[in-house]
Each structure stands twice: as C-alpha cells, then as structure tokens.
Amino acid sequence: LAKTTQPISMDSYEGQEVNITCSHNNIATNDYITWYQQFPSQGPRFIIQGYKTKVTNEVASLFIPADRKSSTLSLPRVSLSDTAVYYCLVGGIGDDKIIFGKGTRLHILP
Amino acid sequence: DAGITQSPRYKITETGRQVTLMCHQTWSHSYMFWYRQDLGHGLRLIYYSAAADITDKGEVPDGYVVSRSKTENFPLTLESATRSQTSVYFCASSDIASSGMNTEAFFGQGTRLTVV
C-alpha cells in the first residue's frame, strides 16, 4: 500500500476554495486515490475517488497530475460545516485493507 | 433499517474484563473492518475480514479477537481489557466492484469504550 503524506492542518475562510494536497510518491500502476471526510464524533465518509486527470462530483473535485505522485482535493466555496478531517488513501485492485493516515484537519473560519 | 450499526454506543468496563463490541451490516458486503481512533488521532486498522470465516490482522491487532461466522456480523472482543484500549471503535463495511477494487467503505456510528 502506497504511503501518503498530507499537511497536518489547514485554516481557511468561508466562501473560499480549499485545496488539500496529498503526496504518494510510490503509487503503483493499479492504485486509485480515495478521499474521506470525518466530522467530529462520526465515522469517515467517502468523498471522491479517481485514477488520473480530474474527477468531479457534487461535493468536491480531485485533480491528479500525469505522474500521479500527488493529488489535490478541491472543495469549492467552503462553509463552516466543512470543518472536518480529510484523509487521502491510496490502494488498488487486490488490496484487502483500507488504511488511513493521519489526515488533514481543516478548520473553516467565519 | 438498512446500513451498518454498532452496539453499544458507549461502554465503561474495568481492567481485565472481557468486552465484546458488535457490528451488523445489512448490505451483505464482503468486507468488514474494525478501527480504533484515539483522541486527536487518525484511524488504525485492528482486524478485517474479506468474507465469512476469513479474518486477518490489521495494524494493531494485539489484545483483540474477531470472528465472522455470518456475513452480516463482525464482533470485536477485548479478551482482557486494558486502559490503553480506551478509544473510539469504528466498524466499516465495503464490497468489491467488478473492477476488483474495494468500493467505498461505510462506517458505523462508533462505540466509545472507556476502560477504568
């Protein structure tokens, strides 16, 4: 399983776009990149998953450069309710385990 | 109700006692997982199961026992609880897509365990 590195914490303001970058230098060819969100006192919740280029859903966008050694989760126009911990995971076909790193603690300020 | 449920939500137990945390999912997902999350930290995988009667160790399995006699249930037992096992425990389930990838994992509400 590829190891990931993310910033420990980030602050931003309501209405701003927030970008959280994850490094995964030893990502394997069949690995996907997945992001989860965790609110206090709740279990994590799946946000988005991608393999290459750009993926967008109603919650976020995921940008993956051609070398796939990093990825960026983009949250458009954040609100106070986006304050949470965001986890970047890398795993591929045949990986039984789902391993979480320490995540990025995002704090949205009014 | 459809989903994944954990019980109890809160538990206080004494050092040395055996305690079992329950996890039940209604989707018939192949995979189930147990994690612990200590205050201010990320999730650490304790045990996981790929199917009924198949279990395997995660990152921090010592002091824990699991079983999976039925697809929908995945109980976690602390055979002799210690204070260091005070934590929030999360159960999760996922399935395998046609691509062979694990699909998104769905988490329960968590069990807050205190060992005194």
Q: Is B87 on the interface with A (CB under 8 A)?
A: no
Q: Is B49 on the interface with A (CB under 8 A)?
A: no
Q: Topology of A9-109 in CATH? A: Immunoglobulin-like (2.60.40)
**Least CB-CB distance to B107: which of A34, A43, A94?**
A43
Task: CATH number of the domain at B63, please.
Answer: 2.60.40.10
Q: What is the pLDDT of residue A1?
A: 61
For residue B35, the cross-strand partners are: B45, B90
Structural domain boundaries enclosing B11: 4-115
Q: What is the pLDDT of residue B1?
A: 59
Q: If you average pLDDT over every residue of chain A, what do you get? A: 93
Q: What is the pLDDT of residue B108?
A: 96
**Least CB-CB distance to B48: which of A87, A97, A100?**
A97
Residue A21's contacts (CB-CB under 8 Å, 6 or more residues apart) are A6, A7, A70, A71, A72, A73
B56: which chain A residues are within 8 Å (Cβ-Cβ)? 96
Which segments of chain B have a pLDDT < 70?
1-2, 98-99
Q: Alpha-carbon distance A68 to A63, whole Å?
A: 9
- The total number of structural domains in chain B stands at 1
Q: What is the pLDDT of residue B103?
A: 75
Q: What is the pLDDT of residue B42?
A: 86
Model pLDDT for residues A54-106, shown as the tens digit of each residue: 999 999 999 999 999 999 999 999 999 999 999 999 987 777 888 898 899 99
